[in-house]
Structure 1
Amino acid sequence: MILDTLENGNKYFSLHPNFKVAFDYLTSTDLKALEVGKFEIAPGVKAIVSDSEGKTAEVALQKFECHNKNIDIQVCIQGSETIGWKPRQDCTNAKGEGYNEEKDVTFFDHTPDMYFGVKDGQFVIFYPEDVHAPMIGQGLIKKLVVKVTI
């Protein structure tokens, strides 16, 4: 997991071939003007914009998740968000059928090891080994999740 500000995005280009594409998009786009929905930025780089009320930790933990095929770059566009995190190696209680290949997600029945805040202009990168519960907070949270295919 990496937590930083968008102005430092160029420091992470070397971590994945498509991070440059993702961060170039993030720093050259008026993120506040983005409409809710899903779209492709480039091959292997897609975006999901959401705009909803923050959740309690209990509600967010119902979808304590990680991915196998994608790296998430989650950007807080508006509001203040808290995210729960735990290393995947410490998560052994998968919910339901386990990994859903179609949706590239596994949900876990665990409690985060830590919570941290993300505000306007900050991002967090979640790798497949990062189990996370986003959207914890009060009031409106607008965010962009850039999914980078591994």
Structure 2
Amino acid sequence: MIVDSLHNAKKYYDLHPNFRKAFEYVQQNDISVLEEGAFEIAEGLKVIVIVGEGTTREESIKGFECHDQNIDIQISIKGPETFAWKPREKCISPNGDYSDERDVRFFYDKPDMFFQLQEEQFSILFPEDVHAAMIGEGLLKKIVIKVKI
């Protein structure tokens, strides 16, 4: 997992061939006006704009998840937004089977920690990062960029 501000995004371009494209998309577009929904910006890069009311930690961790085929770059547009996190290697209680169609695996495990993103900050969540999001008060807006592995 990586947490940083968009100001430092260039530091991460070389971690994956599509990270540069993902962050350049964010820099070249006014992400604050993107409407809720999902769309592809390049091969292997999908943007999901999420707008919703923040929830409690207890409610959010019911969706404690990770992905096998994608890396998430989650960027806070309107927050702050709190995340739950735990390394996959420490998760021992699966909540159902892996969904190949949705690329998601859920766990009953409790998080090791919580962290918060302020506006214009991001988190890169790799397949080994089990996470839950949208913890907060009031209206939250974010984009999730799915980067195909």
Q: Give the TM interval when normalised to the shorter protein.
A: over 0.9
Q: How far does residue 17 in structure 1 lie from its aligned partner after superposition?
A: 0.2
Identical amino acids, percent of aligned pairs: 54
Corresponding position of 1:38? 38
Measure how far apart 1:27 and its partner are.
1.2
CA drift of 1:79 comes to: 1.6
Unaligned runs of 5+ residues in structure 1 are none
User: 1-side partners of 2:18 and 2:32: how far apart?
Assistant: 23
Q: How does 1:89-108 map onto structure 2 within 5 Å?
A: 89-96=89-96, 98-108=97-107
State how far apart, in whole Å, the 2-side matches of 1:82 and 1:31 are: 20
Three-state SS of the structure 1 residue aligned to 2:13 is: helix
TM-score, normalized by length of structure 1? 0.98
Q: Residue type of the partner of 1:104?
A: D
**Offset at 1:77?**
0.4
Provide the secondary structure at the position in 2 that maps to 1:109.
Answer: coil
Q: Secondary structure at the match of 2:102?
A: coil
* Misfit runs of 4+, over 2 Å: none
The AA in structure 1 aligned to 2:93 is N
Question: Could you tell me how far 1:93 is from its partner in structure 2?
Answer: 0.7
Question: Which amino acid in the other structure matches residue 145 of structure 1?
Answer: V
1:25-69 Cα distance to aligned partner (Å, 9 max, x none) = 011110111000000010000000011000101110110000000
Q: TM-score, normalised by structure 2?
A: 0.99
Point out where structure 2 has 5 or more consecutive residues left out of the alignment. Answer: none
Distance 2:57 2:109 in 1: 12
Q: Which deviations, in whole Å up to 9, do the C-alpha atoms of 1:117-149 show, x marking residues without a partner?
A: 001000000000000010001001000000000
RMSD of aligned alpha carbons: 0.5
> Does structure 2 conserve the Cα–Cα contact (< 8 Å) formed by 1:7 and 1:27?
no
The reply on whether 1:57 has 2:89 as its aligned counterpart is: no
